[in-house]
Amino acid sequence: MLPSAESVAIAMVLILGAIVAWDAWWLTRQHRDVPEFGHLPNNGFAWKSERNHEMFRQWANLGSMAAMMALPWGFASFSNTPIFYVILWDVLLGLHIISLLVPKRYAVTSTHLFADGQRYAWQRLRLPKRQPKHRIMLLRKGWGPFGPLPLGGDRSDLDVAAQKIVDILHPNEEE
């Protein structure tokens, strides 16, 4: 026997609420981890993005979120799901979209990359052969298709950061 539509809706809304809260917590950390911008001690560099940079960075996620907001409306009536949960789902996804578009703080240090409120050790990252025009793309090792880690920002900041990343990940290569 299948669970009721309301039970499934409650479970999905709770899971999405936990994801939104988790992402919000990580976003608050970025101010602590990257308090200043520009050149840092020990050859580091920190920069920030703007909303338009985050739109370029998150374009695929934004499209997915739009589809995830629309789909439940088509299923709610014949599944007898209370509309309250569909509305709550859309509100939570709307908050998640806002969190995707909040300008981010990034930093490159000799030991870590700081992005999205998280710290990534360089041995867990690699540069793909091709880079997009409007962002820096890194890949998280062992994540397969879920591994892309795009970094946004102004082109001049990305150029400085990209050179530092290349110097860290490929120290023996000549320019």
Q: Which amino acid is at 98?
A: I
Alpha helices in 43-169 (DSSP H): 51-57, 59-79, 83-101, 155-169
Q: Which amino acid is at 66?
A: A
- Is the distance from CB of 153 to CB of 161 less than 8 angstroms? yes
Residue 113 pLDDT grade (very low, low, confident, very high; cuts 50, 70, 90): very high
**Residue 154 corresponds to which tokens in the numbers above?**
């102004």
More confident residue, 117 or 157: 157
Residue 126 falls inside a structural domain: yes
pLDDT for res 48: 94
Using CB atoms within 10 Å of the CB of residue 134, give its burial: 0 to 12 exposed, 13 to 18 middle, 19+ buried.
Answer: middle
CA 157 to chain CA centroid, Å, is 19
Residue 91 falls inside a structural domain: yes
Residue 100 falls inside a structural domain: yes
Residue 6 pLDDT grade (very low, low, confident, very high; cuts 50, 70, 90): very high
Residue 150 falls inside a structural domain: yes
Number of domains making up the chain: 1
CA 108 to chain CA centroid, Å, is 17
pLDDT for res 174: 54
Residue 91 domain boundaries: 37-169
CATH of the domain at 61: 2.30.29
Residue 5 falls inside a structural domain: no
Residue 29 falls inside a structural domain: no
DSSP 8-state assignment for residue 2 = P
CA 20 to chain CA centroid, Å, is 12
pLDDT for res 129: 84
Gap between the terminal Cα atoms of the chain: 64
Residue 136 falls inside a structural domain: yes
pLDDT at residue 175 is higher than 70: no
Nearest by Cα to 30 from 134, 102, 137, 94: 102
- Is the distance from CB of 134 to CB of 52 less than 8 angstroms? no
pLDDT for res 136: 92
